[in-house]
Copies of this chain bind each other. A is one copy, B any other.
């Protein structure tokens, strides 16, 4: 099936191909050779979907679109303060070829005009001029996701006719913005402008900026994330020369144009657009490029400043320990208690990107919980990203909760090493005590339940050893009947490391736990083991085999030394003949157990569904 987005772009391309306004740049002789009919559009999402139409594979030179990328490289080499000393940040309101140095200091007004870009290029480090150029080329190639190269004819042409830029270079030398002979830096600048790209490359480079510096297809970090916002800022305020204000107003994305007819536009966190069409307007921007971006922005509602709030969707589900319990199967008494006390445990299942406003919603929810809450579990399994702001807020939330003797517990936190490092630095010697983290919600929930039960039950959370009359399966049997079934039982002891029940095996027994603890474990497709249930003294497992005779569907392994009473399947069968009333009671108990499990599953389903 053809994507409707592809179909729309093809229609858009057909329509704008008819536009014949503008003129191909002539100030560099090589550029004048461009075919005014060339026209390509490429849209790449931050999730890596690529849509391209028209002459999207036609090479041309990047020209001024190189400026923001080299600015990023200068920031990586020197940091913001040093770069700011050499190049300013303010739009000039002047035309694209204005020199615009600040009176007095001679500092170029911004890095998107030629003077600023030459100063920026001079900041790129390397052992030699060639080495410096290789760094620029590598960075551009990483952004584009394929190796790029210089278009030699254009470079020669630029170098031979670059008198105005040479004048700028010497003016910058005069003001000591360039601190050495400007000639090598000018050649470097001419060369960076002559790197050949396609419209598809521009789309990928734009998408790399949209994706915090990571190429969304190769997954490679092409520019350090912390500098992407600075690169996009100068594009936003000065990227389209003296059309910058109108561009932001109409199109609403940081952008940069080049005189060869390229334009990139970036919607942060969302997508990048590359357009190529050589005819330019009198401000030096591609005519079709501006119209295509304008229409794409309107048709797809891409304006940066037109964003609905998505903070609410940070909480995927929120539930209490009385709605969902751990897979530790509890005795009737414990279950009753947990149903009462379970509201003291709150789980927030989080998702998406955690930044300030999304985390605020969580923090606000937690600090507004009623007083009875003792444990708050934050589940990070579905969180896509977490920034430092979010770590700050979680640390401060933890401090507030600890002061109220409330536990804050993270699950799946190993996905965000930043959080742990951050907490370690902030909590110092209280880290081991205050920072609680469990592999998953089930283990965290079990720990919270144990805490609550230990407080509430004077003799601790469970009886150590079950007698035959304690088994839930045998409830309702009288003494004589108990004697009959006791005769059928065979006692066995298992050690840790043993396997009590093996998945796929034929079912022969029902197991009644005398003492110790055993868990039902499922091997998932990705090799991880998932706990389905944990049983302790008095409980039964493997009982479904008595009804459906199906092979075992999971492993059961002892968590501790485990003593079980085994009820043989054939012996159970035979009860129909000798003691049908006992069998009826056992089946009724089985039904009750299944129905209680079904109720639990349905209750849990209603939380998530």
Contacts and interface: CB of A to CB of B under 8 A. Distances in A.
Interface in A560-609: 576, 580-581, 583-584, 587-588, 590-592, 594-595, 597-598, 601-602, 604-605, 608-609
Contacts of A433: none
Nearest to A396: B4
- Among A243, A249, A304, A385, max chain B CB count under 10 A is at A249
A590 B598 CA distance: 13
A356 interface: yes
A30 interface: no
A576 B584 CA distance: 8
A90 interface: yes
A271 B598 contact: no
A242 B110 CA distance: 13
Contacts of A216: 309
Interface string A299-341: 1111111111111110010000000000000000000000000
Interface in A257-313: 267-271, 299-313
Interface stretch (A13-21, A126-134, A357-365, A506-514): A357-365
A387 B300 CA distance: 9
Interface string A37-48: 000000001110
B49 A364 contact: yes
B357 A271 contact: yes
Contact of A307 (B109, B268, B601): B268
A595 B595 contact: no
B242 A248 contact: no
Contact of A305 (B3, B236, B547): B236
A228 B580 contact: no
A361 B47 contact: yes
A352 interface: yes
A198 interface: no
B363 A5 contact: yes
Contacts of A242: 90
A389 B306 contact: no
A223 B277 CA distance: 38
Given A229-B305, A270-B356, A311-B46, A109 B93 contact: yes
Interface string A51-90: 0000000000000000000000000000000000000111
Contacts of A608: 605, 608-609
Contacts of A232: 305
A383 B210 CA distance: 24
A7 interface: yes
B587 A580 contact: no
A399 interface: yes
A1 interface: yes
B392 A299 contact: yes
A142 interface: no
A22 interface: no
A246 interface: yes
Nearest to A547: B591
B357 A270 contact: yes
A548 interface: yes
Given A47-B361, A361-B47, A598-B598, A313 B237 contact: no
In order of increasing CB-CB distance, the 10 nearest A-B pairs are A4-B396, A269-B307, A580-B580, A601-B601, A46-B309, A608-B608, A232-B305, A587-B587, A300-B356, A90-B245
15 contacts: A1-B401, A7-B396, A46-B311, A47-B361, A90-B93, A90-B243, A93-B94, A230-B249, A233-B305, A268-B306, A268-B307, A270-B357, A271-B357, A301-B389, A580-B580
